[in-house]
Amino acid sequence: MLVARRVDEEAIALQRQGVLPGYAPMKGQEAAQVGSAAALDRARDFAFPNYRDLGAAVALGVDLPAYLATHLGTWHGGMYDPLASRFAPFNAVVGGPVTHAVGWAMGARLDGTRGVALTYFGDGASSQGDVHEAMNFAAVYRLPVIFFCQNNGWAISVPTDRQVGGGSVAARAQGYGIEGVRVDGNDVLAVHEATLAALERGRAGEGPTVIEAMTYRMGPHSTSDDPGRYRTLAEEQEWAERDPLTRAAAQLPESVVAEAEQHAAEVTRQVREALTAMGDRPGEELFDFVYREPTKALLAQRRAWKEWADA
């Protein structure tokens, strides 16, 4: 959790320095992400993140400079190996990774591995039609998938109570006939236990689970956002007192916390140096991996780009 917090802070600083074009901070959501991702079995499960899930990437051991290469604009979806890390390329489409997770879960059901898909999305994304379709499909086929909603209070600038009907994402599970759980998203142990229980249900063929982790986005929606325009300082201070890192540190010896700080500082240094040293990728890669068999239009675009680049 501390590594995620420090790297997140460094990413914001790098954006302000012009190294990263843009970034979506996740400060305050470390417990929800680390507690859930750490429960996965990397031999058979798979996580499908959105653009604010750095903590989950840390928990699954993803190469962080390679992960942040997407924010650097160097590579689409990150330069790390998704199969090795069990962490799919993160998705910037709101609600996008949810349908991907359901498709993967269908494959896991068919191949008999008893693997479970864990997909992340926010309270804002829960209003997307894709999320409804994914939950309904998963419920009908009793697929092994965990719909993990990080309810951080704000869909960009719109509060949850103005865009989530009924006031609860977890309550929607009842309409699909599946399990729905609401958990304190700032309590890493509570999140971990809820995720383990959902994984057991998935492996046992009992179908999907909706977990709604109640947390708070302590920073802006993105580095181009000003949360002071839509929420109060009093609200931010109230949630700062529930900081998941402070709560976790209170349960550990001071020596362990100090050691964690040293480790986080070293990881952050390595990430900063690797990102600032990362050069441009070959321009031809813009046209690779789009289609298995390139279309005529794509080939024409590549030729046009090549002529322009060589001019």
* Per annotation, catalytic residue among 71, 201, 217, 272: 217
Looking at beta carbons, which pairs linking 13-18 to residues 24 or more positions away fall under 8 Å?
A: 14/272, 14/275, 14/276, 15/71, 15/223, 16/223
Asked about 176 being catalytic, the answer comes back as no
Asked about 221 being catalytic, the answer comes back as yes
Asked about 291 being catalytic, the answer comes back as no
* Per annotation, catalytic residue among 16, 230, 263, 281: 230
* Per annotation, catalytic residue among 52, 71, 100, 221: 221
Catalytic (active-site) positions: 217, 221, 230
